[in-house]
Structure 1
């Protein structure tokens, strides 16, 4: 059963990689179609444009055929989903010549949704297989223990050697599956035998290699695209600010409101880009901390007071209960301030008008212990286990603005200071975010 699970996991990972390739091919096809539409709609076309308009439909249809061929070769794909994908590919083909933009956009949007759905379903299946593998491994361990007890009655020492040989590689696999669930794909299980468990170990390590490569490619893509976006965003912002400042002429009130809203949206996008870049640096160990000794109580009071106006505007109370005396912490001031900003902003988003947020701090052995406590909707146990994951949004936060990176960055910052962070919460009873930072010295 474990070998078959390993094979299924391998096929699932391979399927996700192939579907990602199809997504890239589809995106390239869509960009080509939009360029074709733009050229086709020009009233006066030069010879180059006419040639491009004549050749583009064939190239687009060729990409549609490539996608169709790949999808039809994926045995892991649900037949009903494959039929829908082929249907939308047929619609895209009909929208090529003559070009029908509305037909194309509708079909491409549905195709992109189905491709993403197939990947999400496959990843969910992989997760279920990993959980099942863990459960079977746990059952095998329990069975091994029972076998050991029976053999102890019969032959003592022989049973001990057998149980040790069986349980150790299985325990390693079980531990490795836990790391896989946390997104840590650099763990490899050592080979300790030459039997079926060794085959399963090989399949598991191959799966971790594939998942690690996918995660690395995703990180490289995010890093690359965020770097490439910074300069264009800066130029866009500079141009809009020039318009707002009246450099290119006066604006009416409606135009001014529109541009100011665009600037706010650019600020949001810029924050997302810098959050992604900072998270990549933190995860790779390339983030440099500027450490200094700080009297922590004064620092916390000043930092929390900065948020008093935003809390008052929403009608949410903000209080502090600090018993830090003369405690000194060696820390990066800007980054720990960022931790408080993320936790307080998060608490404000989820606390209803009339609610209250309390910041509690005290000395706990060799650490300072902080708690940011709110009386918002709270979370389930399953949501609390994933709340520090990148881009994760709990069910109560689906309609709340944010990038989904704040808590992930917060966790990385605390761990970079050799601290620890966790959450205590229950549905309907609010949340308490705890974190520890070592005292100086």
Structure 2
């Protein structure tokens, strides 16, 4: 058997689950990294931009208070204003010092704020001049306001970057989720479809093999273990077909080779029994009768073997016509009556009026009924009963044959229609080759019908088979 394995089932599952895990971990790692980056950026905004903006705002408030107190002193000469100016400037210096400690990069930019300064408090002529802002304080205010504007611009840029990073992380998260779903669902469905397709082929082959028909090759649809199983099944089917062909050839050869000497034996027994070669006593006639019965039985066995062989080679030809169903059942009962009478079996019939009409090959269906009735007589005990009934169902006619034998266990019922199969409970006690029911099933199947086996209400077996109505094609 060639080695066709390309990717095992375990490898397929590993690739599928591995891809899912890789995508999930990659997206998760990116999102975690983005969250950490956003956290650091938020921390920087709070510790730098927000703290700096708050400090500048407080220093500007002090400078505004200084300007107001300078105007108040120049206009009103209020000595308390000088005190407030000193306090505001002192507080301004403390805030400036702490701010530069936390943000040393502003030491150069704010160097002017740390140098010595001069503020003029003497009033000057003219109200407008006294209301004008102090030049030093105004310069400091301009520096701080520019720093505040720069800080706000930096803050807006940082917030914009965070927003864009959040949007990008959201998109990547959604794409990752969609990809995980695609790999999870799509890969799972594809893997399930691939496995189920191969399993369906193998199940089909096994079901056909279980029906007793000639096994056919199944398609090899994958290169994994199921593909190897399909190849092994095909190799087995090939061997079975070859053995079946050899057996069919052997049966044909055996039937041909035995039929001629068997015919000679039967003719010789008939001639001896008829007294052509001299008088025959009772003892001799008894043994000649036994020999004649055995030759008839052997001839019947050869006929059944040939029938099965013809059916398997698809050479069974049906002469389909409209047939009276009640007449079929009555004729079969008449032909089986001698065998039933010899064993003390009571024959019964339940035939509807008017008689249904079915579409079938009369000779072959007659053989089906005879095989079923013959089995019923064979397996029913002395004094038992065998019955045949005909009933109508939508688009078909149903024939039923019921016996009073030991019945067939439920687990064995599907096998009784296989060639050469005999129920274990009767193999040793009842004669037969296990071909009758195989012939019955093939004939019914050829008509487009179906045969089933169930247990009788009081024991025994019930065989039911269907035939199509005349307007339906088999």
Same fold (TM over 0.5): yes
2:408 to 379, 389, 403: 379
Please tell me whether residue 228 in structure 1 is matched to residue 250 in structure 2: no
2:467 to 429, 437, 441: 437
2:248 to 194, 219, 229: 219
| Residues 215, 240 of structure 2: 8 Å contact kept | no
Please tell me whether residue 405 in structure 1 is matched to residue 439 in structure 2: no
> Residues of 2 paired with 1:351 and 1:172: CA distance?
42
Q: How does 1:95-244 map to 2 (within 5 A)?
A: 155-244=184-273
SS at match of 2:453: strand
Paired position in structure 2 for 1:414 = 444
Q: How many residues align?
A: 295
Q: Is the deviation greater in 386-395 or in 176-185? A: 176-185
Paired position in structure 2 for 1:323 = 352
User: Would the alpha carbon gap of residues 313 and 257 (structure 1) be closer, same or farther in structure 2, given more than 3 Å must change?
Assistant: closer
Please tell me whether residue 277 in structure 1 is matched to residue 306 in structure 2: yes
Shift in Å at residue 185 of structure 1?
4.3
Unaligned runs of 5+ in 2: 3-8, 10-179
> Residues of 2 paired with 1:417 and 1:400: CA distance?
30
Paired position in structure 2 for 1:365 = 394
> Residues of 1 paired with 2:211 and 2:319: CA distance?
29
User: Would the alpha carbon gap of residues 184 and 345 (structure 1) be closer, same or farther in structure 2, given more than 3 Å must change?
Assistant: closer
Shift in Å at residue 156 of structure 1?
1.9
> Residues of 2 paired with 1:423 and 1:219: CA distance?
28
> Residues of 1 paired with 2:233 and 2:442: CA distance?
28
> Residues of 1 paired with 2:181 and 2:463: CA distance?
48
> Residues of 1 paired with 2:243 and 2:457: CA distance?
34
| Residues 357, 372 of structure 1: 8 Å contact kept | yes
> Residues of 2 paired with 1:242 and 1:421: CA distance?
44
> Residues of 2 paired with 1:232 and 1:427: CA distance?
47
Shift in Å at residue 313 of structure 1?
3.4
Q: Deviations over 1:267-312 (max 9, x none)?
A: 0000000110111112212122233322221332233233334323
> Residues of 2 paired with 1:296 and 1:172: CA distance?
40
Q: Deviations over 1:287-344 (max 9, x none)?
A: 2223332222133223323333432332322211122524222322222111111111
SS at match of 2:378: helix
With normalisation by structure 2, the TM-score equals 0.58
Unaligned runs of 5+ in 1: 4-136, 138-150
Shift in Å at residue 378 of structure 1?
0.8
Shift in Å at residue 203 of structure 1?
2.2
> Residues of 2 paired with 1:244 and 1:369: CA distance?
45
Shift in Å at residue 410 of structure 1?
1.2
> Residues of 1 paired with 2:355 and 2:283: CA distance?
54
With normalisation by structure 1, the TM-score equals 0.62
Superposed CA RMSD: 2.6
Paired position in structure 2 for 1:289 = 318
Q: Is the deviation greater in 416-425 or in 305-314? A: 305-314
> Residues of 1 paired with 2:213 and 2:256: CA distance?
25
SS at match of 1:387: coil
User: Would the alpha carbon gap of residues 303 and 205 (structure 1) be closer, same or farther in structure 2, given more than 3 Å must change?
Assistant: closer
> Residues of 1 paired with 2:458 and 2:412: CA distance?
14
| Residues 384, 423 of structure 1: 8 Å contact kept | yes
> Residues of 2 paired with 1:338 and 1:314: CA distance?
21
Q: Deviations over 1:145-201 (max 9, x none)?
A: xxxxxx979722222112112221122123322323334444222122233332332
SS at match of 1:402: coil
Q: Is the deviation greater in 295-304 or in 164-173? A: 295-304
